[in-house]
Amino acid sequence: MRNLSTLTLIALGSALALGACGKSDTVGNETQQDAVAKVAAPQGQKWSDVITATADGGFVMGNPDAKIKLVEYGSLTCSHCAEFAQEAEPKIVDEFVDSGQVAYEFSNFMRNQLDTLAAAAMQCAGKDRYYPLMHNIYVSQEELFKGAENLGKAAQAMQSQPDNKKFITYAKGIGLYDFFKARGLSEQQLDQCYGDPANVLSVQSRSDAAGKQFDIQGTPTFVLNGEAFSLVQGVDPVVTVSEKLRAAGAR
C-alpha cells in the first residue's frame, strides 16, 4: 500500500490529470461455455438487492456464489463510465444478475486525485449505499467537477496539516463535503472516513493492483472470470457485454 507522503505528492497537481477513458476492443468470436443454471433469489428479494462485501474490500452485487463473475473497473470522472452506468448497466443487471447466473462488481479505478477522494467516501458509505452512490455520482458529474479548479490550492493546504487532517482538508477544499452531505452522508461520517488515511490509501492501492494485474489502459475495463476486455467502439455496450456473458454460460 502507498504511504501517506506518496499520495500527498500525487495530490499536488493543480489540474485534473486524466488517464484514458473509453479504450476500445475489437469484435471477436467467443468460445461458448456450458450453460449455467439460473438461481432463485432469497425470498422477497431480487439478486440485485443482495450486496456482499469481499475479502479485498469490494462489494459484489448478486448471487455471491455465481460461477460467472463480472468486474467493471470504472472511473467516477469518466464520461464513458457514466454512460455505461446510466444506459447499459441496468439492462445487464436485469437480465444476468437478477437471474442468479452472474455476480457483478463495480470497482473504482483511479485516473486522478478527484477519483481517489470520491471513491474513498463511496467505500466508507458501506455496502448498502455503495451502488446508489455510484449511480448518483455518475448523474452528477458536472457538480462533482466544480471543485476541480481548487485542486492545487487544496493540495497545498493539506501539506501543513497532521496526517489525520490532511484528507479532510483536501476533501473540503475541493467541495466533496458539500457534495456527499447533499447525498446523505453526515459531516461526522466524512470526518471519520477522511480522518483515517488508510481509507484513502486502500482504494488507491486496490486500483493500482488491478491496473497492473489486468493492464488496464482505459475505463471502463471489464474482467470476466479473470479475463479482461473493453467495450467495442461503435457497438452498443449492452451487446458487447451480453455476448461475453452468454458465451460464459449465462443463457
With a cut of 60, say whether residue 149 has pLDDT above it: yes
The strand ranges marked E within the chain are 51-53, 59-61, 68-74, 102-108, 221-224, 227-230
Average pLDDT, the chain: 90
CA torsion through residues 188, 191, 196, 199, sign:
positive
Q: Identify the residue with better confidence: 246 or 151.
A: 246
Q: What is the pLDDT of residues 205-243, one digit of tens each?
A: 999 999 999 999 999 999 999 999 999 999 999 999 999
Domain boundaries in the chain? 20-247
Lowest average pLDDT, out of 143-147, 179-183, 194-198, goes to: 143-147
* Single-letter amino acid code for the residue at 106: F
Kindly report the number of other CB atoms within 10 A of residue 44's CB atom: 6
Q: What gap in Å lies between CA 15 and CA 132, rounded to an integer?
A: 28
What pTM value is reported for the model? 0.90
Unique residue bearing C-alpha cell 493492483: 209
Q: What is the pLDDT of residue 29?
A: 64
With a cut of 70, say whether residue 20 has pLDDT above it: no
Q: What is the pLDDT of residues 30-72, one digit of tens each?
A: 789 999 999 999 999 999 999 999 999 999 999 999 999 999 9
Cell of 31: 468460445
Q: What gap in Å lies between CA 76 and CA 89, rounded to an integer?
A: 15
Kindly report the number of other CB atoms within 10 A of residue 229's CB atom: 16
Q: Which fold has domain 20-247?
A: Glutaredoxin (3.40.30)
Q: How confident is the model at residue 150 (pLDDT cuts 50, 70, 90)?
A: confident
Q: What is the pLDDT of residues 78-136, one digit of tens each?
A: 999 999 999 999 999 999 999 999 999 999 999 999 999 999 999 999 999 999 999 99
With a cut of 90, say whether residue 9 has pLDDT above it: no
Strands 221-224 and 68-74: antiparallel
Q: What gap in Å lies between CA 170 and CA 137, rounded to an integer?
A: 19
Mean pLDDT of 166-188: 96
Instruction: Using the CB atoms, write b or e for 150-165: b if 16+ within 10 Å.
Output: bbbebbeebeeeeeee
Unique residue bearing C-alpha cell 452468454: 246
Q: What is the pLDDT of residue 189?
A: 98
